[in-house]
Every structure is written in structure tokens, then in C-alpha cells.
Amino acid sequence: MGVAAKKVFGGAPGQKYENPTRSLMEETGQDHQQAMRYALSLPGVSIAVVGMYTEKEVVENAEYARSFEFMSESERLSTESIGLDLAEEWKDHFGPAA
């Protein structure tokens, strides 16, 4: 059994296929590669589900996956702190912060 990490880039509120938008992370200048590394570094996670709507995003995400390296514990804790701050900023759209 594996665990899938979803909404790795924070999701895109109001996303419509006829008018694709990037994630909230894009708007706040956050690092997509760091988010993917974090998700894939969590114990038990075997896949990261990310939405892609342009060829550029496919190429970016493929490069993130090819260059993946597990995060150290200190990197993971630092990234969790950023995530909790973003969860507070984005509020309940994505559910309560842990």
C-alpha cells in the first residue's frame, strides 16, 4: 500500500479547465520544488499528485521529480513551519492547519 500526497502545491481555488490558473503558492512566491520534496520526503508517501495545465508546468514538475533528494529533518521542519504559516494565511479553504 502507498500513500498519495495531494494538493502538493496548495491547490488553485476557483480553478476552471477553460481558464487554468497556477497554485496559490505561485501567488505567494513559494518554492514548488521545495513543496514536492517535502511531500515525497514524508514517511510512507510514494507519489505526489500535482495539477499541470501547461507544457511548461509538465517540464518543471518532471525536472523536480528527476532531481528529487530526500529532505533532512531540519529541512523538513523548516518547510513544515512555512506550510503552517501558509495554512493560516489561506484559512479554511484547505481545511484547518494541524
**Is 29 part of a structural domain of the chain?**
no
Q: Identify the pLDDT of residue 85.
A: 84
Greatest mean pLDDT among 38-47, 51-60, 87-96 lies in 38-47
- The model carries a pTM of 0.80
Q: At residue 25, does pLDDT exceed 70? A: yes
Radius of gyration of the chain (CA): 13
Q: Identify the pLDDT of residue 67.
A: 95
Which parts of 1-98 fold into alpha helices (H)?
A: 24-28, 32-41, 55-66, 73-90
- Domain range holding 54? 35-88
Contacts of residue 53, defined as CB under 8 A and 6 or more positions apart, other chains included, come to 20
Half-sphere exposure of 42 (CA within 13 A, CB side): 17
What CA–CA distance (Å, rounded) separates 57 from 17?
A: 15
pLDDT tens figures, 59-93 = 999 999 999 999 999 999 999 998 888 878 777 66
Total domain count, the chain: 1
Q: At residue 98, does pLDDT exceed 60? A: no
**Is 53 part of a structural domain of the chain?**
yes
